[in-house]
Structure 1
Amino acid sequence: MSRTRRTTVLAIAAATATATLLTGCQQDIGTDTPASPSSSGSAQQGARTAGDVGPDGADASRREVLTDDGGYVVRGSRISFVYRNGTRYTVDVGQQIPAGDTTLRTASGVLVLKGGSATWTQNGAATTVDARGAGAVADRSGAIVVTPDGSVTCANSQGLQFVGSNGSRAAANTGGAFYTDREGKQVTLGQTPGATTLAGRYTVCNVGDTASMDLFSDVLFEFDSDRLTPAGRAVVASAASTIRQDVQGKTVQVVGHTDSKGTTAYNQQLGQRRATTVANELRRQVPGATLQVRSAGETEPVAANVTPDGKDNPNGRAKNRRVTLTWEK
C-alpha cells in the first residue's frame, strides 16, 4: 500500500471515529447553525399556487424526503444524500428505487431507506444521512462527516480537517461561511459577527476532489429578479477573492437553483438568468476564469419546499434559492 493511500485510509478511520464521537456528543444540543437566509424573494408564482407547491414540483419521477436541514432525494435509480451544510452526494444504485421504506440489494451495493434516513453500503463503506442532515459520505477519495450542528470533518490524502458550523476551523481546512452585516455592506468569511445574515457557505470538505460554494439568492438578488443587490455584489466579490488562486487553470461550474414555487419552466429560466449574472460578475473579478453556466431550476433542493402536511415552507424554500460554484481541487 502506498504511503498516500495508507494516510488516506488512516484519516478515514479517524474521521469515522470522530463522527461517532461528535454525533453522540451533539445529538441533544439542537440546531446550533448560523442564521438562515432570508425567506423573502422567492421565484415568481406561475401556474401553481402556494397551495400547489409540492416537494416534486412538476417532476413526478422525483421523490423528496427532506426536512429544513436535509435528507435525501430519489429520482429513478439515483439517490442524492443532502446534508445540512449544503453538500449533495449522488449515487446510481443501478436499478429503480421503490417508494417508501425499503431495503434494496443491487449488484453494486445495498440501499436502506427507513424513517427519513438513508444508507448506501458499497465495498464495505457506508454513506448515510438522517432527517437532521447529519451523516457521512465515503468513497475512494476520502470521507466527510457532517454532525447535527452542521460542523464538518473531512479525511482525505491531505489529512484530517475540520470546520465548525460558525466557520471556525482546524489545520489544513479552508471552509467557512459568508455573512453580511445589518446594512448589507460588510461581508465576513468565517467567524460570525453580530446581527448578520448568512449569505453563503464554502467548504473544501467534499469527497471526489471537489470544492464548492453556495451563495444564497435572497442576499444576492432583488426580489424575483436576476439583478444583483449591493450586498450581492459584495458577496460575489468576496467569493471571488476567496477562490481566485484555487481556480486558476480550472473550470468552475456555476449553477442556478430555485425553490419549487412557480412553474417549472419559469424556475428553469430564473435559475439560468441568476447563474449568468453571477458568472458575469465573476469574470470581472477573476479575469480569464473558465466558467460553465447552467440552471438546475427547482430540481436539486437542499431543504423541504413544503411541510410534512403539504403546506408552504418558506424557510426550506429560502435555502433552495442559491447559486452554487464547484470546481476540481
Structure 2
Amino acid sequence: MELQKVLDELHQQGLQQIAAADNLTTLNEIRIKFLGKKGSLTQALRQMGSLSEQERPQIGALANNVRNDLQQALDQAKQDLENKAVQQQLQAEKIDVTLPGKPRRMGTKHVINQVMDDIEELFIGLGYEVINGPEVEEDHYNFEMMNLPKDHPARDMQDTFYITSEILMRTQTSPVQARTMEKHDFSKGPLKMISPGKVYRRDTDDLTHSHQFNQIEGLVIDKHITMGDLKGTLELTARHIFGQEREIRLRPSYFPFTEPSVEVDVSCFACGGKGCAVCKHTGWVEVLGAGMVHPNVLTNAGVDPKVYGGFAFGLGPDRFAMLKYGINDIRDFYLNDVRFLEQFQGE
C-alpha cells in the first residue's frame, strides 16, 4: 500500500534526523517538520479518506505508532541535549577547591583605639567601671559642677565650641564623673570609674594639639583615700604603658577640680632618664594631670566632703600614643593614610 510505504519512510527519516540533531533549536524544527499541524505526518494522514474500510484500521494503527515513536525520540533527544548543556556549563564554571584561596586583606584597630582599649583593660582589671556620656553637654556639668563657675578665668584654658550659651561640645570627660557621682549610692560601696571619649577645644596652636582629641579620666571616691593611693595608681599605669622600669614624679600644679593638684612626669622611655631630645634633656616626660578631688566638686554632686574623699586623673590616649611610638604630628592619626596606620598592626 502506498500510504504504508510513506509512513515507513517518514518514520525512518524522522528517527535519523532526530538522532543527528545537535541542539535544541534543530530538534524543535524537526518536531514541527514531522509532527506539526502542517507537518509531513499530518499531510500523509489526510490520505486516509481514500483507503478502504479494511485498510483504515491497519494504517491508523501504523500512523499512531509512527507518531508515538517520533515523539518519544524527540523527548529523549531533548533531555539528552539539556543534560549535555548542563554538564558543559558545570565543566566551564567548575572551581578547583584544592587551589589556595585568595587572602582577604584585613584591617586592624586604629592605633588610638588600641591604646584606649589597653588602658580600659588595665582599669577593668583593677575593678573600675567604664562609663560613657554625651559629647554635647550642658555648661552646668562641663564647668560649674567641676568648680568652674561663670566667668572663672580657668575656663580660658578650655575654650570650646558653643551651640547655645548653655550647651557646648564637652572639653573633658569630667561631666560623666559629675553625673555618675550624683547617682551613685555610696552606702553600697566606693565609686571607681574611668570615662573615655572624644573631647573638643579650640586648641590648634602646634602639631601636638588638635581641636578634637580623646581623653580618659579616672575617678575614685571612698573613705580614707590618700595621695599615696593616687601615686600608686599612676605608677602602675605608667609602667603598664611605657615599661616596667619607668619611674614617676609628681609636680605641684593647678586644676580647679582637684586640690592639691599635680602634673605627672614619667622617666624618659627613650633614654632611660639620662637626657635626650624626647625629654628635652631633662630625663622626664610630662604625661598627665591628677590630684585629690576638690571638696567643692564633692559638695556640688551631693557628696559629703567631710566623710568622703578621692582622687582624679586625666590622660590623653592621643598623647600617650605619640609618646609611646615617637609620633611628632597629631594630625597623622586622622589623615587615614594607610602607610601610617599599617605600622601599628598587631600592636
TM more than 0.5: no
TM-score by length of 1: 0.27
The answer to which structure, 1 or 2, has the higher relative contact order (CA under 8 A, 6+ apart) is 1
TM-score, normalised by the number of residues in structure 2? 0.26
Q: Which has the higher strand share?
A: 1
Larger helix fraction of residues: 2
Bigger CA radius of gyration: 2
